[in-house]
Amino acid sequence: MPITPDALKPIFPMEIIRQEVSTQKTIAIPDEVREAYLKLGRPTPLYRAKKLEAKLKTPAKIFFKREDLNPCGSHKPNTAIAQAYYSMKEGVDVLATETGAGQWGTALAYATQLFGLKCDVFMVRTSFEQKPYRKTLMQLYGAHVTPSPSQRTTFGQEVLKKSPEHPGSLGIAISEALETVVTSKNAKYSLGSVLNHVLLHQTVIGQETLIQLAKNDVEPDVMIGCVGGGSNFGGFAFPAMERKLKKKTNTRFIAVEPDAAPSITKGTYAYDAGDTAGMTPLMKMYTLGKEFIPSPIHAGGLRYHGMAPAISLLAQEKLIEAKAYSQIKIFDAAALFAQTEGIVAAPESAHAIAAAIDEAKACKRSGERQTIVFNLSGHGLLDLKGYEDYLEGRIT
C-alpha cells in the first residue's frame, strides 16, 4: 500500500500528515517553533576550513555548515521540535520512535520535554552498547530508552527468538516503535528521517546556507552531505537544488553513504516498506530490502536499508551523485579534520568530510578553484569509543 493520508492516520498527527502530502511551495513555521529554534542556536554558523585547505595544499575553498553546536549535538532537533509541537497542539501524550546512533532519540527527548510530552525510544542494540552516554542523555531529558530488538513488543520477541544476540537495525526499531503506537492510547509515532515532512523541516539548514554564501558572494560548486535515511542531506541540499532545477546554478550534489549500507550505490529502486516487519506503507526508494541487516559500524545513524523517496528520485534522475565509503576511510578523514579544524565530528558526518577531502584533492590535481560546501551534521563527543577503536587499530 503506497503512502496516502488514510494510511498515515493511525501513526501521525494530522498536521504532520498534511505536510507529508502537501503540494504547497512553502509552509509557515509557527512562532513557538521559531522561538525554540532561536534558543537552539539558529541560525547556525558557516565556516571556511582554511587550515584543512592548507594541509591539503588545494586551490579549492572548503566551507562547512555547523549543525553540531546545539544541546543535542546534531541537526535532528530541526524536525524533532516541529513534530513535538504539532503533536502537543493535537493533544498527543506520548511520542514513540526509533534511533540508531542516538542523535535522533536525543533530539526527540529534548523536544518532548519542551512541549510537555512523554518520549519512548527504541535504540538499535548495537548503538545502545557502543554509545551508552547517548542513552544517558536521552534519559536526562526524560525519555524511556529500550535496546532493540526487545521483549517489549511481539515483533521484538519474534526477532530475539530466532536470534537471541541480534545486533538490531533501524528497520527493526521502527517496527517496535510502530507496534507500541498502535497498541497504546493517545500515542503517535515520530520519524527522524526519510519522509517528506522531515526533509521539509530540515530545509532551514539549506536556506540559511544559501543566505550565508550569498552574503560572502560565494556560489557553491559542490554541496555534500552524509546519507542514511536522507534528512540532513535533503535539508542541506534541497534549497540549492531548486536553483539548479531552474537552471540558476550548476552546483553538483554528492550524497555519501557507508559501504556497510549502500542503499543508493548498490540498492534497487523499488517499492519497499520502511520497517522490517512491513507495517509502514510502501515507498518508492532505493533499498537494500527491508530485512537487510548492516554490519555494526560506528556510524549507527546511517545503518538503514532505504533512502528517502525524494532523494531516491533525484538520484534516479541523475541530479545527485552518490558515493560509499569504508569505515576506515571516514575515520581517517575525521582525524584529519580534528587535527586541522579542531572539531571532532560524528562518524556519520565524517562521511561528508571524506568526500569533501576527495573533491579538494581532485581540485589540487586539476588546478580548479572550486567551492566545496558540506554539512557537519553532528559532533562526535559521545562517539569517542569509535575514535578509541580507530586510534588503537581496531577499525578496518
Burial of 185 (0-12, 13-18, 19+ CB in 10 A): exposed
Which pTM does this prediction carry?
A: 0.94
CA distance 48 to 245: 27
Q: How many helices (H) and strands (E) does the chain have?
A: 17, 12
| Percent of the chain surpassing pLDDT 70 | 99
H or E element at residue 100? none
Q: Which domains does the chain have, with CATH numbers?
A: 31-73+195-391 (3.40.50.1100), 76-189 (3.40.50.1100)
Residue 1 has pLDDT above 70, yes or no: no
Strands 94-99 and 61-66: unpaired
For 263-314, write each residue's pLDDT tens digit: 999 999 999 998 888 888 899 999 999 999 888 888 878 888 999 999 999 9
Q: Are 308 and 230 in contact (CB under 8 A)?
A: yes
Residue 2: is its pLDDT beyond 70? Answer: no
70 vs 44: CA distance, rounded Å = 9
CB atoms within 10 A of CB 369: 11
Residue with cell 532519540: 105
Q: Is the pLDDT of residue 203 over 80?
A: yes
pLDDT of 7 > 90? The answer is no
14 has pLDDT over 80: yes
pLDDT at residue 121 tops 60 = yes
d(CA 105, CA 82): 14
pLDDT tens-place string over residues 130-183: 889 999 999 999 999 999 999 999 999 999 999 999 999 888 999 999 999 999
Task: Tell me which of 64-78, 100-114, 228-242, 294-308 is least confident.
Answer: 294-308
User: Across all residues in the chain, what is the average pLDDT?
Assistant: 94
> Which residue from 95, 211, 187 is spatially nearest to 144, judged by alpha carbons?
95
Looking at residue 141, the DSSP 8-state letter turns out to be T
